[in-house]
């Protein structure tokens, strides 16, 4: 199994990232559309922030994450507030973790940049979807150039064209300073979708909240990217 980097920051992550009211989450849920009666897999679900909202909206929701500590926290919440959510502690990129054609839709909120093997993740998600199923995901915009005390999408020693894993240094990038991130060009994501039979259907670039960047420097640039793709008919 790949490294579970969020195990060491689980308490910090749960305390700081538990709302669905941010613009990126709202865009993701909006692109996903009605889910009542659908079976939905939430990839890199963490402590179940998005997973629980899927269940509230009537989905048969399943969450998968590599972090044992975050899955444990998700299960604790499920025990206190039962929503019939199933959680899987596993690396989504490992072979045969998800059943073929078992889901109507898939979501991934800010998780793809945490996954080192993007191709294996895309392959697993595509395989798990039924033909015509949707995959909606959000992530830091690959073109985000950073701002005052906020790290860009790419390492300061390189530029947009330099893909790879790196760790943020700016003071306001509190999570990425601890767990790092994989920077990839926008074309890499688009080509990967096509390579695994996922047709791009719609794209949103939601603005962050007005108080997200007090300096109003970073928020003049593209910050979030949300995409919906459709599993092609076989």
Query: In 3-state terms, the chain is what percent helix, strand and coil (to 5)?
Result: 30, 25, 45
Cβ-Cβ contacts under 8 Å for 127 (sequence gap 6 or more): 98, 100, 101
Does residue 61 fall inside a structural domain?
Answer: yes
What range does the domain containing 31 cover?
5-139+194-213+225-231
Q: Is residue 182 part of a domain?
A: no
Task: Count how many domains the chain has.
Answer: 1
Q: 64 in a domain, yes or no?
A: yes
Alpha helices in 81-185 (DSSP H): 118-128, 176-179
Share of residues in the chain with pLDDT > 90 (%) = 93
Asked if 147 and 141 touch (Cβ cutoff 8 Å), the reply is: no
Q: Is residue 123 part of a domain?
A: yes
Q: How confident is the model at residue 1 (pLDDT cuts 50, 70, 90)?
A: low
In tens, the pLDDT along 192-228 reads: 999 999 999 999 999 999 888 888 888 899 999 999 9
Model pLDDT, residue 227: 98
* Cα distance between residue 234 and residue 109, in whole Å: 27
Q: What is the pLDDT of residue 217?
A: 86
On whether residue 144 sits in a domain, the answer given is no
CA distance 178 to 193: 28
Distance CA(102)–CA(175), nearest Å, equals 33
Query: Within a domain: residue 101?
Result: yes
155 assigned to some structural domain: no
Average pLDDT, the chain: 96
Q: Does 198 map to a domain?
A: yes
Q: Phi and psi for 157 in degrees, rounded to 5?
A: -85, -5
Are 231 and 130 in contact, with CB atoms under 8 Å apart?
yes
CATH code for the domain of 205: 3.40.50.150
């Amino acid at each position: 199994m790949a490294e579970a980097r969020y195990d060491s920051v689980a308490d910090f992550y749960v305390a700081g990232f538990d709302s669905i009211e941010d613009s990126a989450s709202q865009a993701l849920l909006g692109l996903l559309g009605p889910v009542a009666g659908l079976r939905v897999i939430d990839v890199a679900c963490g402590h179940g922030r998005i997973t629980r909202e899927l269940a509230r909206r009537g989905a048969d929701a399943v969450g998968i994450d590599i972090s044992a500590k975050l899955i444990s926290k998700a299960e604790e919440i499920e025990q206190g507030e039962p929503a019939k959510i199933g959680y899987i502690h596993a690396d989504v990129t490992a072979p045969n973790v998800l059943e073929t054609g078992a889901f109507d839709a898939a979501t991934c909120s800010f998780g793809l940049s945490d996954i080192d093997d993007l191709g294996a993740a895309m392959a697993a998600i595509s395989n798990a979807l039924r033909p015509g199923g949707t995959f909606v995901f959000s992530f830091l915009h690959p073109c985000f150039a950073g701002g005052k005390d906020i790290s860009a999408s790419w390492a300061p020693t390189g530029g947009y064209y330099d893909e790879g894993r790196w760790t943020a240094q700016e003071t306001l990038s509190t999570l990425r300073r601890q767990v790092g991130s994989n920077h990839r060009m926008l074309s890499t994501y688009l080509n990967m979708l096509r390579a695994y039979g996922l047709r791009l259907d719609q794209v949103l670039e939601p603005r962050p909240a007005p108080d997200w960047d007090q300096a109003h420097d970073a928020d003049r640039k593209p910050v979030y990217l949300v995409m919906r793709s459709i599993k092609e008919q076989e």
